[in-house]
Amino acid sequence: EPATADQILRDNDVVSNTIHRHEFPVLDVPVEVVAETDDLLVINKPPSLPIHPCGRYRHNSLTWLLSREHGRGPLHVIHRLDRLTSGLVLFGKNVTVARRLEEEIRT
């Protein structure tokens, strides 16, 4: 039942909040797996899609789509591209590989 402004909470009371948000649309371009090994996944990221949930995007993100719609995960982002940029994105299938490749990219 909805609470009032002067209602006092007691032990075991449950407070919940429901928010309905509309995400900005993204281009309807399929996510393409370019290469895959036991340790690495290479994806051709379409434009308009952020790499991970952020700001006004939650479901319309590359990591969410890979996990929920393609059954890929858990994945570790090795590098990222801006939302509007398309191109190849590397994901490690484990933390050790992801960290090693991040270091190789930096040097």
Q: Any idea which residues carry the catalytic annotation?
A: 82
DSSP class per residue in 14-53: ---------PPP----PPEEEEE-SSEEEEEEPTT--SS-
β-bridge mates for residue 44, sequence order: 32, 88
- Please report, for residues 7, 13, 15, 36, the alpha-carbon distance to residue 4 in angstroms, rounded to integers and kept in the order given: 5, 14, 12, 55
